[in-house]
Amino acid sequence: MGNKVSVKIKNEIRKRFEDGEDLKELAYEYKVSYGTLRNTSSKENWEKGINAAIRYLKEVEKDIESHIAEREEIVGHYRTLHKSTLAYLIELERKKERPTSKAKEEALKNRVSAHRENYQFAKELYSVMTPNEELDYKMKLAKYEAYKKEVFKDNGDDKKKDIEI
């Protein structure tokens, strides 16, 4: 490839190969000897599909981060609801008052019950986890991080920065 193909073309071929395209097809398209490309890719440690794997990992990471943020927001809303109900109950206790009518007492019970039911529904809908579920999730995340390190091994940090999603 030395004198016949520019560095720019070689870099294009490498990028496309690392995106998952076949080396033979790239050799045909760029009118370069397959043997030369194979030798160059071997010598420079090109890895077929490595960019696709990195993009996939970045998408997964981005998806996980958005889900975590959404879950935290939902949990925050329910904490706020709980705190407001608790503050109301504490205020009643401090004043040594009880709801003045059966209807108000029933409304309070219904509100607390509705918060509990809605929270259970939100847990399912937004994957809000119990401490045990969160521990399992963190173990899966650690396995994911180990896989990510394996994919990134032998690739410098400069290569990771070039990947765009």
The answer on 64 and 35 residing in a single domain is no
> What local confidence, expressed as pLDDT, does residue 161 receive?
43
37 assigned to some structural domain: yes
The answer on 62 and 42 residing in a single domain is no
Domain count, the chain: 2
18 assigned to some structural domain: yes
The answer on 67 and 39 residing in a single domain is no
The residue type at 26: L
> What local confidence, expressed as pLDDT, does residue 3 receive?
45
> What local confidence, expressed as pLDDT, does residue 113 receive?
87
| Chain position carrying tokens 């794997």 | 53
For residue 74, count other CB atoms closer than 10 A to its CB: 17
| Residue 143 structural domain | 57-159
Ranges of the chain with pLDDT below 50: 1-3, 157-165
> What local confidence, expressed as pLDDT, does residue 156 receive?
53
1 assigned to some structural domain: no
> What local confidence, expressed as pLDDT, does residue 36 receive?
86
The answer on 14 and 74 residing in a single domain is no
For residue 8, count other CB atoms closer than 10 A to its CB: 8
> What local confidence, expressed as pLDDT, does residue 164 receive?
43
Identify the CA nearest to 47 among candidates 165, 160, 154, 162: 154
DSSP 100: S
The answer on 94 and 135 residing in a single domain is yes
